Structure 1
Amino acid sequence: MVTNVMECKGVNKVFQGDGISTYALQDINVRFEEGELVAIVGPSGSGKSTLLSLLGALDLPTDGEILYGDSSIIKLNQKNLADFRFENIGFIFQQFHLLPTLTAIENVMSPLFSRKVSYDKKERAENLLIQVGLEDKFNSLPAQLSGGEQQRVAIARALVHEPSWLLADEPTGNLDTDTGEIIFNRLTTLNKEKGCGVIYVTHDHELASRADRIVEMKNGKIISDTRSEVHA
């Protein structure tokens, strides 16, 4: 499956509750090209995180298509969908979602535990932790790490199988300014050096302005899609 281009065609996401239908996304049509650095902005409840979850195959649309290359992921069964995520998507959550009983290196290796891969799992995890500046934290548990260190472990985990796309939901939202800057610089370095497409949700307009492209959402719709002035 070709995965260097992502596209939403007529995507809607509807949540049902108490007899009420709530449209989280309405008629989303958007295309992301190989190696782009894209910011998704908008007020709370605008559909940003929902869109990111659909792009990352963590959820499926109510209707419409999500294409990677010419292939629609909504036609995949659960096993093939899980395999697709493993091979192509790295997801970074605002809340880190590290496993509390595993060390930093074990958390990075965790997506690989049930997988057969062609490389040494521990060596790959060690190299990634070194790249994010945690060479002295291999055996530390999440509770022994600062918020910024936990987020760096989460980034290393997302990159362990070298995905085509890195999706980040408010990756600096729980961090102080200086630590957030370190995290964002790591994402942009990966984008430029590895050619990994990066799409990140943020409320920080200064952070958004540093992307190649800014997609703005409101009430479940895309209301603008522009190149950043810095990169235009």
Structure 2
Amino acid sequence: MGLSISVQSITKEFKGDGFKTLALDHVSADFQEGEFISIVGTSGSGKSTLLSIIGTLDSPTDGKLLFNGKDAQHLSPKQLSDFRFEHIGFIFQQFHLLPTLTALENVMSPLFARKVPYNKKQRAEEVLTKVGLIDKSSSLPSQLSGGQQQRVAIARALIHEPNWLLADEPTGNLDTENSEIIFDLLSSLNEEKGCGVIFVTHDPVLAQKTGRMIKMKDGRILTDWKDDTL
């Protein structure tokens, strides 16, 4: 089943001792199944906050988040957790690999507490092969380069074949060569598997290669450009 996402007039405020920050200011956008979208903007523009809300890791102060037209606010915490597991894979700038687990075990880690209708080890080997690291299955994170660790993190996000990959600055800690490798990998996954990708980045060169680019500033969407030739 496909998964469309809609954010409707989303506002997000962060409050502390005597201060209030408006991170998102009435943001609205629709994301269709299979799209490859980049979100760009300076630090503090709201792009990572928007991604966290889309991925249900955070909730809006006001506005609605809809999945296939259904309001996410009606889901219980357990239902949200199950929803994320079934439909969304996360990739972050920090790789968040468990240092005492091998690459294969890190890829399998989202499945440790889950019952699934497939062989967990076999699926993990399949996705490690897809990201070109099956030969590093037994390696610990400390034995891998930054680019290799990020590919393991992508394999972990793919383990349950999500509808969407939400990537928050996945090339932020990588050099130009490895950034291109990671971007090309996400692009091929989008094309071959039909997996939607929302790619938050500071890199305008990579952002312009996606089929749609959203530019944000001060918690608002400035432009939402789509290449209709793709």
* TM-score with structure 2 setting the length: 0.97
Q: Please, which runs of 5 or more residues in structure 1 have no aligned partner? A: none
User: C-alpha root-mean-square deviation of aligned residues, in Å?
Assistant: 1.2
- Stretches (4+) displaced over 2 A: none
* Contact persistence 1:3–1:88 (CA under 8 A): no
Give the Å deviation of 1:228: 4.1
Give me the whole-angstrom Cα distance separating, in 2, the residues matched to 1:30 and 1:203: 20
- Which residue matches 1:5? 4
Secondary structure of 1:163's counterpart equals coil
Give me the whole-angstrom Cα distance separating, in 1, the residues matched to 2:145 and 2:227: 32
Give the Å deviation of 1:19: 2.2
Q: Structure 1, residues 36-86: CA drift from partner, whole Å, max 9, x if none?
A: 000000111000100001111111111111001011112211111100000
Give me the whole-angstrom Cα distance separating, in 2, the residues matched to 1:210 and 1:93: 20
- Which residue matches 1:156? 155
Aligned length: 230
Say whether residues 1:78 and 2:73 are aligned partners. Answer: no
Q: Please, which runs of 5 or more residues in structure 2 have no aligned partner? A: none
State the AA in 1 paired with 2:80: L
Secondary structure of 1:224's counterpart equals strand
- Which residue matches 1:52? 51
Give me the whole-angstrom Cα distance separating, in 2, the residues matched to 1:111 and 1:71: 25
Give the Å deviation of 1:227: 1.4
Secondary structure of 1:136's counterpart equals helix
* TM-score with structure 1 setting the length: 0.96
- Which residue matches 1:208? 207
What is the 5 A alignment of 1:17-56? 17-56=16-55
Give me the whole-angstrom Cα distance separating, in 2, the residues matched to 1:3 and 1:74: 20
* Contact persistence 1:210–1:228 (CA under 8 A): no
* Contact persistence 2:6–2:69 (CA under 8 A): no
State the AA in 1 paired with 2:31: F
Secondary structure of 2:34's counterpart equals coil
Q: Structure 1, residues 133-164: CA drift from partner, whole Å, max 9, x if none?
A: 11111111111110000000000000000000
Say whether residues 1:171 and 2:184 are aligned partners. Answer: no
Secondary structure of 2:37's counterpart equals strand
